[in-house]
Chains A and B, each alone.
Chain A
C-alpha cells in the first residue's frame, strides 16, 4: 500500500504545480473571469465563414474589453466548433451551460444548428447574439435570450423574388434547396413570393447530394427556366452551378447569402461569374464604418474578413456593452445570465454595420438587405462584387399564435 501511495505522489504534485499559480494569480488581480463563447463551424466545408465569426469576436473582445476590466473582471474568449452539425452544436451548448463563467454566446453560422442549440441556452436564459442566422424561427419563438443583428430569410426570399421579377425580368424559375432549415426556408419564401409576382416556378427540388448533380440537371435543362434559384450554401451550390453550365444550361443563377464566400468562385470558377445573390450582410467594403476593422483584421490574422465577420464583431460589441450594464446594475458583482440577456435587448449600438436596436422578439428593428453580382472568377477579387441593390426593411412583427 505504502509504495503505491508514493508512486502517485509526484504526479499529484505535478498536477498541483500546474493548477496552483494560475488560480492564485487571477484571484489576486480580479473579481473573476467573464467568458464569451463563440459557436461556429471551425472545421469542414464552411470553416472559412465560421472562422471569420470566431476571429472577429476575438478582435472585438481585445479592443472593447476595457470598460469591463475596469470594473474588475477579466474577459476571455472560448471558441467552440459546431462543425455546422446540429448534434455537435447542442453537445457544445451543454458544455457551455456547464461553464458558469460563460455569460454570452456569439453564433451560430447555420440556422439549423442555432435553433436546437438555442433551446439549450434557453434553459439557463443564456444570451445568444447571432451574427448570421436568418431563419425566421430564430426570433419567432420570442425567446428573451435569443437576438440577432442580421435580417431574415422570409424577407430575403422576397428580396430575391422581387429582384428576379423587376431587374432580371425572369418569367420562369427552377428552385433547388439543400433541405436544411436555412436553405429550404429561404427557397420556400422565394418560391411563394415569386409565384405571387407571376413568375412560373417550374420545379422545386431538395437534395443532399454534394458531387453528382447530373440527374437533377437533366430535367432542368429540358424545362429551360430563365432563372435557377439555389437555396443553400456555396459548398453545394458552386459544384451544382459549375456542372449545370458544363451541361449547357444557359439560365441565370441566383441564391441567398449562403453564396457569399470566396469559395463560391474558387469552386465554381467562370460558371458563377455574373450570378446574383441576395444577402443580409454585404461585403465588409460596403460598410463605411468598417474600414478600420478591415485593416486591423487583416494585420492581425493575415487574411480578409469573410462575410459575417463584421456582424460578429458588432454582436460581440453589443454583448460586451450589455455585460457592462448588467455588472453595474447588479452593484459590481458578476451578473446572472438572465440579467445579461435582459441587458442585451435594451442595448442600442452603433457599430460597423449600422445602428442595431432590437424589437420585442430580438430582430433588429431595421435590417439591410443587399443584392450583389459576382464580378470575377478570381477569389481575391470577391470584394469587387457589384452591389446591385440595397434595401432597408423592417422585420415583420411577431405573429401571435391563435
Chain B
C-alpha cells in the first residue's frame, strides 16, 4: 500500500465528497420539507429536480445560440438560470401537489405514495417526450463556460474549480436562507403550525392549503436549484438522471432525520463524504479486491448501521419541531 498516495489524495477526496454532499442536501430538502408538513414522501421530487436541470440547460443553450454566453458574465447567467430553474421546478411541484396529492389528502398513507410514484414515471417520460420532439436528443450537455472551469490550486495536489465553489456557496446560502425562513418568519411559524396540527392551525386562521402549496413551492425550487447546479457541475443530464441522486437524497434525508432541515444537510454531507471516500479508497485499501463499484454498498451499510443505533436519524431527536 502506498501511504503517501493515500494521504496525498485525502483533501481532494474530502472536497469531492463535500460537493456531492451539498448536492444531496439540496435535493434532500425537498423530501424533508414535504415530509415535515404532510408526513408523506414525495417520490416525484427526483423528477422535479430533473426538470430544473432541463430548464437550466434549455436556457443556457438558448443563450449560447444567441451568442450571449460569451458576452455576459457567467455568474450573472448562472444566477438567471438558477432563478428560472427554481421557478419552473417550484411551480411544477405546486401543480403536482394540486393535481395528484391534494385530492388524496385524508386517504390512507399508501395512496398518495403510489400517486407520487405514478407522477414520477409520468414526468420522466414527459421530459423524454418533450426533449425528443424538441431537440431529438436524449442526453443533453450543459454548455461549457470557461470562467467556471478555472481551477484554483490550493496546494500542489488539491485544486478546486470555480463551479465547485459556486455549488458550495449556493448550497450554503440556500440552506441558511431556508432555515431562517422556517424558524424566524411568520410564514415559517405557519408552516410549523401546519406540520404540528392541521386542524388547530386552520382554527388559528392559517390557510392550510396555501401553506402546503408554499411548502411544495419552496421544496420544488430547492430541487430545481439542485438540478441546475448538478448540470453545471457534472454536465451530462438525461430524463432518467434524477432517479439515483433522488434516491440518495431521500436516503440522506432519512439519515439526518426526515422532516428536519439541518438534518437533511448533515445527512447529505455524511452520505456524500462516505460515497466519495468509498469510491476513491476501497480499491486502494483492498488492493483492487473491492473497487469503486462497491461505493454504494459501503455507503448504505453505514447507513443501516447508523439507523440501527439511531432509528430517528442523526438529528431526528435533537430538534423536535418539524420543517
Contacts and interface: CB of A to CB of B under 8 A. Distances in A.
Contacts of A247: 151, 159
A243 B234 contact: yes
Interface in B122-152: 128, 138-139, 141, 144, 149, 151
A219 to B, nearest CB: 5
B321 interface: no
A44 B284 CA distance: 34
Contact of B293 (A208, A218, A263, A269): A208
A267 B13 CA distance: 25
B276 A214 contact: yes
A203 B284 CA distance: 9
A141 to B, nearest CB: 27
B138 A47 contact: yes
Taking residues whose C-beta sits less than 8 angstroms from the other chain, chain A's interface range is: 35 or more
A246 B161 contact: yes
B52 interface: no
Nearest to A246: B149
A205 interface: yes
A389 interface: no
A306 interface: no
B8 A222 contact: yes
A215 B139 contact: no
Interface stretch (A234-242, A308-316, A326-334): A234-242
A211 B276 contact: no
Interface in A159-183: 179
A298 B244 CA distance: 38
B166 to A, nearest CB: 14
Contacts of B139: 45, 235, 263, 266-267
A267 B20 contact: no
A215 B295 contact: yes
Contacts of A205: 283, 291-293
A237 B161 CA distance: 21
B238 A218 contact: no
A263 B137 CA distance: 10
Contact of A206 (B151, B161, B293): B293
B20 A206 contact: no
A341 B162 CA distance: 59
A3 interface: no
Nearest to A215: B279
26 contacts: A43-B128, A45-B138, A45-B238, A203-B283, A204-B288, A206-B293, A210-B236, A211-B236, A211-B237, A211-B245, A212-B233, A212-B234, A215-B17, A215-B277, A216-B279, A221-B12, A222-B5, A222-B9, A223-B5, A235-B139, A238-B236, A239-B234, A239-B236, A247-B159, A248-B151, A269-B141
Interface of B: 5, 8-9, 12-13, 16-17, 19-20, 128, 138-139, 141, 144, 149, 151, 157, 159, 161, 230, 233-238, 241, 244-245, 275-280, 283-284, 288, 291-293, 295
Closest 3 CB pairs of A and B: A215-B279, A214-B16, A211-B234
